[in-house]
Structure 1
Amino acid sequence: MDRRLFESMDNFFTNYVIGFYSDDEEINFNLKLKEEHTKRVCSNIISIGKDLGLDESDRALANTIALFHDIGRFEQFTKYRTFSDVRSENHSELGIKVLNETHILNKLTNYERDVVIMSIRNHNALSLPEMEDLKALTFARLIRDADKLDILGILSDFYQNPQNYEHLKVGESAKIYGVSGNVLESIMNFQNIKYSDVKSSDDMKLLRLSWIYDINYKYTLVKVREKGYLEAIINSMPKTDEILKVYELLKGYIAQKTAGE
């Protein structure tokens, strides 16, 4: 994919997003958050791609996936005032609808377009489907890593400085504490936590930490470790024996996966 083609898509994205801003402070705060998130995910995916040795063409395609992975969020929040897919619509499918209706991907090859759509559709899935196309699988893994890396950063800052996020809608559960049995069992067994098992704010925090098991590339885990995202989220939770065990488990997992970097 040509880098100049990405630049035209970047201009489209900017103009598309501008159309959703209004005089509503809450809407503008949340849309700006997603716009800035998108730019950071683009930066993340380029950094991870370079670390993997992707050529310029493949990095441009990865950047396109990152640029459009959350484009459905702008319609979603404006219409429903939530980023919760459960309480509104699947933002990935909303985004794919936007891309299809605007024909912005028409200048890509059929293969490139299919990879972009597939990667967006699966970027927020619990797990990736089986794929025989290893190149397509790489792109799907890249966007999941780049996205999770930035979300963990946003949440780490949010938990440490909630006063800066007065208008943030993060889809939190009821403000009750404690860890549910299914949630603890999943994370202690190196499994991603299901949203259906989440019953409390602490459950939601552990769900986000369980994303660490789904990170695909060493580069991403190194960044999670270096930026202290695990500690930031753990420190926002009660210092119970359960939470301390989770922390030691995840810390050890990251250390094992990043050994010798």
Structure 2
Amino acid sequence: MTGMDMEAPVLALVGFAREHFSPDAQDRANMALKLDHCLRVFQEAETITIREGLQPDATRRSLWAALFHDVGRFPQYATHKTFDDRKSTDHGSLGVRTLKRRGLLAALDEHDRKAVLAAVILHNKRFLPPDLPDWAAVPARVVRDADKLDIFQVMIEHLRPGARNNPVVTLGLHDEPAVCTDALVEQILAGKLGDYARMRTLNDFRLLLCSWVYDLNFPASRQAVEERGHLNELLDDLPDLQKIRRVRETVLSALERK
């Protein structure tokens, strides 16, 4: 499948997103950030489907789901002025309601639509249901990986020392360079995904991103993280503490496991 096959849904997403763009410059910039993210996640998903040699049905569903995975972000931000689901609404569920209400998946058959909707509603959940059938699980895994690959880059740019803080992107967390929340460190050392509810500082966001290494589904995704050096950059910006040195060893070892 080529990008040209996806021209109509790409234009539909762009048109829908721009309906929500605000006259306010900062609000418009935050919306544009999300639109750019959707388009890059679509590209990341396309790369994964090619490198993993996915079948045409799985590829089609994965690309549509990746493109529209964050469609709920636009009405979410327009209404609540935040991307923090805890302070507004679950953007995966809102995305499904939006796709249905606006008929944005009308070009797909019923089975494809079900797979795309499943991936959209599941992309931001902490875990996938263990009994998910392959027709839904494969697109959901592609989207979750592609989403992480782009968020790594976006967040690293916003978390670099000296970067201009955008509290909408960093969820209003404070910069306390010497502080890491022990509860998050313990989760990572136990091989678990970090919990957003335990974040208190920007360092905690760095830790949570590092924990995503446990939830990469495809070798192509692990290879991308390794090649781009995301984990090392996040780890290098954390304080030089014994517990952080243990985190470094733990997550880098997890990345190397194929």
Runs of 4+ aligned residues of structure 1 deviating over 6 Å after TM superposition are 1-5
Unaligned segments of structure 1, at least 5 residues: none
Residues 76, 91 of structure 1: 8 Å contact kept: yes
Q: Which residue of 2 aligns with 1:127?
A: 127
1:111/1:248 Cα in 2 relative to 1: closer, same or farther (>3 Å)? Answer: same
Q: Which residue of 1 aligns with 2:78?
A: 78
Distance of 1:51 and 1:209 partners within structure 2:
24
TM-score by length of 1: 0.90
Amino acid at match of 1:28: R
Give the C-alpha shift of residue 5 in structure 1.
Answer: 6.6
1:224/1:4 Cα in 2 relative to 1: closer, same or farther (>3 Å)? Answer: closer
Distance of 1:76 and 1:58 partners within structure 2:
29
Q: Which residue of 1 aligns with 2:223?
A: 222
Report matched runs for 1:162-201 at 5 Å: 162-163=162-163, 166=166, 169-176=169-176, 177-201=178-202
Give the C-alpha shift of residue 172 in structure 1.
Answer: 3.9
Residue 117 of structure 1 aligns to a residue whose secondary structure is helix
Give the C-alpha shift of residue 243 in structure 1.
Answer: 1.1
Residue 86 of structure 1 aligns to a residue whose secondary structure is helix
Give the C-alpha shift of residue 59 in structure 1.
Answer: 2.2
Distance of 1:201 and 1:151 partners within structure 2:
15
Distance of 2:183 and 2:237 partners within structure 1:
21
1:51/1:2 Cα in 2 relative to 1: closer, same or farther (>3 Å)? Answer: closer
Q: Which residue of 1 aligns with 2:58?
A: 58
After the TM superposition, which of the residue ranges 99-108 and 50-59 deviates more from structure 2? 50-59
Distance of 2:46 and 2:123 partners within structure 1:
16
Q: Which residue of 1 aligns with 2:10?
A: 10
Distance of 1:172 and 1:245 partners within structure 2:
27
Deviations 1:39-63 (A, max 9, x none): 1101100110011112445323211
Deviations 1:203-237 (A, max 9, x none): 22211211110011111111111111111111222
Superposition RMSD in Å? 2.1
Q: Which residue of 1 aligns with 2:108?
A: 108
Residues 73, 95 of structure 1: 8 Å contact kept: yes
Equivalent residues, number: 257
1:3/1:44 Cα in 2 relative to 1: closer, same or farther (>3 Å)? Answer: closer
Residue 163 of structure 1 aligns to a residue whose secondary structure is coil
Give the C-alpha shift of residue 38 in structure 1.
Answer: 0.8
Report matched runs for 1:23-102 at 5 Å: 23-102=23-102
Give the C-alpha shift of residue 178 in structure 1.
Answer: 2.1
Q: Which residue of 2 aligns with 1:213?
A: 214
Distance of 1:208 and 1:232 partners within structure 2:
11
Distance of 1:198 and 1:132 partners within structure 2:
29
Residue 106 of structure 1 aligns to a residue whose secondary structure is coil
Give the C-alpha shift of residue 69 in structure 1.
Answer: 0.3
Amino acid at match of 1:221: R
Q: Percent identity?
A: 27
Unaligned segments of structure 2, at least 5 residues: none
Distance of 2:167 and 2:105 partners within structure 1:
33
Residues 180, 203 of structure 1: 8 Å contact kept: yes
TM-score by length of 2: 0.91
1:230/1:191 Cα in 2 relative to 1: closer, same or farther (>3 Å)? Answer: same
Give the C-alpha shift of residue 162 in structure 1.
Answer: 5.0
Residues 159, 202 of structure 2: 8 Å contact kept: no
Distance of 1:180 and 1:64 partners within structure 2:
37
Residues 83, 168 of structure 2: 8 Å contact kept: no
Amino acid at match of 1:248: E
